[in-house]
Structure 1
Amino acid sequence: MYTSPQSEQFHQQVWSKYHLYNSVFITLPFDAIDNTGALLPLFNEACAKGLQQQMTPQAIVTAFATKYLERSDAETVVPLLFRFIQYVERQIVLFDAIEDAAFASLNNLEGTGSLREIKERCDTAERQQHLQEFLQRFRVRTVLTAHPTQFYPGAVLGIITDLTEALRNNDLHQIKQLLAQLGKTRFIKKEKPTPYDEAVSLIWYLENVFYNTTGLILQHLNSTSNTSDFQGQPVIQLGFWQGGDRDGNPFVTPEITGQVAQRLRTSILKCYYTDIRKLKRKLTFTEVDVIVAKIEHQLYRSVFYSQGELYIGLSELIADLQVIKALLIDKHQALYVDEVQELLCKVHTFGFHFATLDIRQNSAIHNQVVAAVVRYLGQPSYLEGDEKSKINQLPAVQGKVESSAFESPIVMQTLASIEVMQTIQNQNGELGCNRYIISNNESALNVLETLAMFRWVGWENPSVDIVPLFESVDDLQQAAAIMEQLYQHPEYREHLERRSKTQTVMLGFSDGTKDGGYLMANWSIFKAKEAITAMSRKYGIEVVFFDGRGGPPARGGGKTHKFYASLGSGIEHKEIQLTVQGQTISSNFGTPDSCRFNLENLVSAGISNGLFAKKENDLTVADQAIIDELAQVGYEKYLSFKNHPQFIPYLEHRSTLNYYAKTNIGSRPAKRKAADQLDFADLRAIPFVGSWSQMKQNVPGFFGVGTALDAFDKVGRWGEVQALYQHSLFFRTLLENSMMALAKSFFPLTQYLQHDPEFGSFWESIHEEFLLTKKLLLKIAGHHELMENYPEGIASIKMREAIVLPLLVIQQFALMQIQQIKQGKGDAAWLDTYEKLVIRSLFGNTNASRNSA
Structure 2
Amino acid sequence: MRKSEIVFDDKDLPLREDVSLLGRMVGEMLREQEGEDFYAAVERARKAAIARREGTPASDDLVPLLAGLPAEDAMQLVRAFASYFQVVNLAERTHRIRRRRDYQRDHSEPQRRGIHDAIRQLAIDGMTLREMEQYLSRLLYEPVFTAHPTEATRRTLLEKQQLISRNLIRRFDPSRTPQEENALLAQMSAEITSAWQTLEHPGAGMTVRDERENVLFFLTDVIYRVIPPFYEAVEDALVRVYGPEAESVRVPLMIRFASWVGGDMDGNPNVGAGTIRATLAEQRRQIISCYAREIATLSRRLSQSVERVGINSEIIARVDEYDDLFPETAAAVHLRHGDMYYRRLLRLIGARLTATLGEEETGYDNAREFFDDIRMIARSLRDNGGQHAGLFVVRRLLRRVETFGFHMATLDVRQDALVHRSVIGAGLGRDDWLELDAAERTRILQASWDTPPTDLSDNQEACDTLAVFRAIADSQAFYGDNAIGPYIISMTQGADDVLSVMLLARWAGLEDAEDRLNLDIAPLLETVDDLRSGPQIFASLLDDPRYRRHLENRQSRQIVMVGYSDSNKDSGIAAARAALRSGQEALVKVMQRAGVELTFFHGRGGTISRGGGKVHRAVLAAPKGTVNGRLRVTEQGEIINAKFGLRGIALRILEQAVSATALATKLPAATPPPELEADEIMALVARVGRETYRGLVYDNPDLVRYFRQATPIDVIERMQIGSRPASRRSGDGIENLRAIPWVFAWTQSRLVLTGWYGVGMGLEAAETEYGLERLQDLAREWPFFANLLDDVEMVLAKGDMEIAAHYSQLAGEEVRYLYDQISASFARTVAVVLRISGEEQLLSAQPVLQRSIRLRNPYTDPMSLIQVDLLRRWRLGGRKDEQLLDALFASVRGIAQALQNTG
Tell whether 2:231 aligns with 1:180: no
**Among candidates 850, 853, 858, match of residue 797 of structure 1:** 853
Distance 1:480 1:268 in 2: 40
| 2:300–2:343 CA contact under 8 A, matched in 1 | no
- The answer for the alignment partner of 2:337 in structure 1 is none
Displacement of 1:30 after TM fit?
Answer: 4.2
Corresponding letter in the other structure for 1:119: I
Q: 1:653/1:302 Cα in 2 relative to 1: closer, same or farther (>3 Å)?
A: same
Q: 1:89 is matched with which residue: 79, 82, 94?
A: 82
User: What letter corresponds to residue 218 of structure 1 in structure 2?
Assistant: Y
**Residue in structure 2 matching 1:208, options 201, 221, 231:** 221
Letter in 1 for 2:849: G
**Contact 1:276 1:295 (C-alpha < 8 Å) held by counterparts:** yes
Q: Which residue of 2 aligns with 1:356?
A: 410
CA distance in 2, matches of 1:141, 1:368: 32
Correspondent of 1:79 among 68, 72, 81: 72
Q: Is the 8 A contact 1:280 1:293 kept in 2?
A: yes
Q: Judging changes above 3 Å, is the alpha-carbon distance between structure 1 residues 779 and 141 closer, same or farther for their aligned structure 2 residues? A: same
Report whether the alignment pairs 1:576 with 2:578: no
Secondary structure of the structure 2 residue equivalent to 1:27 = helix
Aligned to 2:341: 290
**1:126-185 deviations in whole A, cap 9, x for unaligned?**
413332222111211100112112132222112111111122224111112112212211
Equivalent position of 2:653 in the other structure: 598
Letter in 2 for 1:37: Y
Instruction: Report if aligned partners of 2:604, 2:634 keep a CA contact under 8 Å in 1.
Output: yes
**Contact 2:234-2:251 at 8 Å conserved across structures:** no
Query: For the Cα contact (< 8 Å) 1:118–1:604, is it kept in 2?
Result: yes
SS at match of 2:635: strand
Q: Which of 475, 478, 482 lines up with 1:427 in the alignment?
A: 478
Aligned residues: percent identity?
24
1:536 and 2:591 aligned: yes
* Structure 1 counterpart of 2:77, one-letter code: F
Residue 260 of structure 1, aligned match among 279, 283, 293: 279
> Is the CA contact 1:692–1:699 (under 8 Å) kept in the aligned structure 2?
yes
* Aligned partner (choices 206, 212, 236) of residue 199 of structure 1: 212
- Structure 2 unaligned segments of length 5 or more: list them: 105-109, 172-183, 239-245, 316-339
Counterparts of 2:428 and 2:490, CA distance in 1: 22
Matched, 1:684 2:685: no
- Pair 702,614 (structure 1): closer, same or farther in 2 beyond 3 Å: closer
Q: Is the Cα–Cα contact under 8 Å of residues 696 and 744 in structure 1 kept in the other structure?
A: yes
Query: In terms of mean alpha carbon deviation, does 150-159 or 330-339 score higher?
Result: 330-339
Larger displacement relative to structure 2 (322-331 or 173-182) = 322-331
Given that 2:288 and 2:357 are in contact with CA atoms closer than 8 Å, whether structure 1 keeps it comes out as no
2:782 is the counterpart of 1:728: yes
* Alpha-carbon contact 1:295-1:317 (below 8 Å) kept: no
CA-based RMSD: 3.0
In structure 2, the CA distance between the partners of 1:644 and 1:79, relative to structure 1 (3 Å rule), is same
Matches within 5 A, 1:401-800: 406-460=457-511, 461-613=516-668, 622-642=677-697, 643-673=699-729, 675=730, 677-715=731-769, 717-752=771-806, 757-800=813-856
Alignment partner of 1:339 is 2:393: yes
Between 596-605 and 745-754, the greater mean CA deviation after superposition: 745-754
8 Å Cα contact 2:226-2:647 kept in structure 1: yes
Distance 1:300 1:595 in 2: 32
Judge conservation of contact 1:588–1:595 (CA < 8 Å) in 2. yes
In the TM superposition, residue 284 of structure 1 has moved relative to its aligned partner by 3.1
- Letter of the structure 1 residue corresponding to residue 85 of structure 2: I
Cα deviation, residue 418, structure 1: 1.2
1:218 pairs with 2:237: no
Q: Is the 8 A contact 1:150 1:583 kept in 2?
A: yes
SS of structure 1 residue aligned to 2:818 = helix
- Contact between 1:276 and 1:292, CA under 8 Å: does it hold in 2? no
**Counterparts in 2 of 1:38-437, with a 5 A limit?**
38-49=40-51, 63-64=64-65, 74=68, 77-107=70-100, 108=103, 110-127=110-127, 128-170=129-171, 171-222=184-235, 224=238, 234-285=253-304, 286=306, 287=311, 290=341, 293-300=344-351, 302-303=353-354, 306-309=357-360, 311-312=363-364, 313-332=366-385, 334-335=387-388, 336-375=390-429, 386-395=437-446, 396-398=448-450, 406-437=457-488
Task: Mark the CA change 1:385 to 1:159 in structure 2 (over 3 Å): closer, same or farther.
Answer: closer
Q: 1:316 to 1:229 in 2, by over 3 A?
A: farther
Write the mapping of 1:822-837 to structure 2, written as runs, cut at 5 A: 831-837=881-887
Shift of 1:122: 3.4
Task: Quote how far apart the aligned CAs of 1:828 are.
Answer: 6.2
Does the Cα contact within 8 Å between 1:447 and 1:468 map onto a contact in 2?
yes
- Aligned equivalents of 1:472, 1:619: Cα separation in 2: 29
CA distance in 2: counterparts of 1:712 and 1:847, whole angstroms: 37
1:328–1:590 CA distance, 2 compared to 1 (3 A): same
More moved, 722-731 vs 343-352: 343-352
| Cα distance in 2, alignment partners of residues 341 and 760 from structure 1 | 64
Deviation at 1:562, TM superposition (A): 0.3
d(CA) in 2 for partners of 1:609, 1:30: 53
Instruction: Give the drift of 1:719.
Output: 1.9
Matches within 5 A, 1:806-817: 806-817=862-873
Is this contact kept in 2: 1:7–1:791, CA < 8 A?
A: no
Asked if the contact 1:51–1:748 (Cα under 8 Å) also holds between the matched residues in 2, the reply is no
* Contact 2:122 2:663 survives alignment (8 Å): no
Q: Tell me the amino acid that sits aligned with residue 252 of structure 1.
A: V
Moved more, 279-288 or 257-266: 279-288
Contact 1:243 1:260 in 2 (8 A): yes
Secondary structure of the structure 2 residue equivalent to 1:152? coil
Secondary structure in structure 1 of the residue aligned to 2:299 = helix
Residues in 2 aligned to 1:686 and 1:748: alpha-carbon distance in whole angstroms:
24
Alpha-carbon separation, structure 2, partners of 1:300 and 1:652: 59
Q: Which amino acid aligns with 1:315?
A: R
Cα deviation for residue 300 of structure 1 reads 4.7
Cα distance in 1 for partners of 2:99, 2:575 equals 34
Q: Is the 8 A contact 1:406 1:412 kept in 2?
A: yes
Deviation per CA, 1:381-424: give whole Å up to 9, x if none. Answer: 98886533432332534366799x63444322222111111122
Bigger drift between 443-452 and 580-589 goes to: 580-589
1:145 and 1:241 in contact (8 A); partners too: yes
Is residue 676–residue 778 contact of structure 2 (8 Å, CA) maintained in 1?
no
Q: What code does the residue aligned with 1:836 have?
A: D
Q: Residues 291 and 324 of structure 1 are in contact (CA less than 8 Å); yes or no, is this contact kept in structure 2? A: yes
In the TM superposition, what is the alpha-carbon distance from 1:621 to its structure 2 partner?
8.4
**Superposed displacement of residue 186, structure 1:** 1.1
1:716-765 Cα distance to aligned partner (Å, 9 max, x none): 52222111100111111111011111111111112246776223321011
Q: Which runs of 5+ in 1 are unaligned?
A: 66-71, 822-826
Separation in 2 of the partners of 1:185 and 1:618?
58
Q: Pick which of 591-600 and 332-341 moved more.
A: 332-341
Equivalent position SS for 2:724:
coil
Structure 1 stretch 472-481 or stretch 332-341: which is displaced more? 332-341
Instruction: Return closer, same or farther for 1:614/1:784 CA change in 2, 3 Å cut-off.
Output: closer
Q: What do residues 676-700 of structure 1 show as CA deviations (whole Å, max 9, x unaligned)?
A: x312222111110000100011111
Note if contact 2:283-2:408 (Cα within 8 Å) is conserved in structure 1. Answer: yes
